[in-house]
């Protein structure tokens, strides 16, 4: 403590919150009003492990990238890593961002449209160190159809039909 200032070193974003000062001497004790400490930090992905999404060719895919950040994320960048080099994916789909969440919408049409998507967020403090990771994989072929019949309010019957292969 110097010149009536308190310097906090080595804190991280979890140190944010309300703090009070308590002083005690022979005359008694006193407590200050609460002071809120906001710790500013670059974005970090809310999902620690990669997310795997299965999709069929021609099926609409929506990827949701959510980060924790203070101040709020001001920019999101998406990259695609497939069989070739990494590319900016904005040309391949539609991106919507609001606050600390970005969504990327696209429709895979070929085998090369499946791969790994990376989402990077930035704010006034910096760019996130580790991206949010999404693995989009081709969904398996449909091998059976499930039909649901409700006979009464208390009974539900399920019938499974396999497709006829000619």
Q: What are phi and psi of 159, to 5 degrees?
A: -125, 130
The reported pLDDT for the residue numbered 89 is: 65
Report the distance separating Cα 126 and Cα 13, nearest Å: 14
Residues near 165 by Cβ (< 8 Å), separated by ≥ 6? none
Neighbours of 40 (CB within 10 A): 13
The reported pLDDT for the residue numbered 159 is: 52
Query: What is the pTM (predicted TM-score) of this model?
Result: 0.71
CATH architecture of 42-138: Sandwich (2.60)
The reported pLDDT for the residue numbered 82 is: 78
76, two tokens: 């999101």
pLDDT tens digit sequence for 22-81: 999 999 999 999 988 889 999 999 988 889 999 999 999 999 999 999 999 999 999 988
pLDDT tens digit sequence for 106-149: 999 888 888 899 999 999 999 999 999 999 999 865 555 544 44
The reported pLDDT for the residue numbered 84 is: 63
Examine the pLDDT at 161 and tell me if it is beyond 90. Answer: no
The reported pLDDT for the residue numbered 158 is: 52
The reported pLDDT for the residue numbered 163 is: 53
Q: Which of 130, 125, 129 is nearest to 39 (CA)?
A: 125
Q: How far is CA 85 from CA 12, 24, 81, 100, 138, in A?
A: 35, 64, 6, 28, 20
81, two tokens: 């890593």
Angle at 139 between CA 58 and CA 61, to 5 degrees: 45
Neighbours of 88 (CB within 10 A): 10
């Amino acid at each position: 403590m110097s010149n009536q200032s308190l310097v906090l070193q080595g804190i991280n974003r979890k140190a944010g919150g309300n703090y009070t000062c308590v002083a005690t001497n022979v005359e008694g004790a006193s407590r200050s009003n609460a002071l809120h400490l906001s710790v500013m930090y670059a974005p970090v992905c809310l999902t620690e492990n990669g997310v795997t999404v299965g999709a069929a060719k021609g099926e609409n895919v929506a990827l949701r990238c959510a980060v924790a950040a203070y101040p709020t994320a001001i920019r999101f960048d998406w990259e695609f890593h497939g069989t070739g080099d990494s590319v900016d994916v904005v040309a391949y789909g539609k991106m919507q961002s609001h606050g600390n969440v970005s969504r990327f919408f696209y429709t895979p049409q070929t085998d090369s449209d499946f791969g790994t998507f990376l989402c990077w967020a930035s704010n006034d403090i910096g760019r996130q160190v580790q991206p949010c990771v999404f693995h989009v994989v081709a969904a398996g072929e449909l091998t059976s159809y499930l039909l649901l019949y409700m006979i009464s309010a208390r009974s539900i019957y399920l019938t499974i039909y396999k497709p006829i292969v000619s």
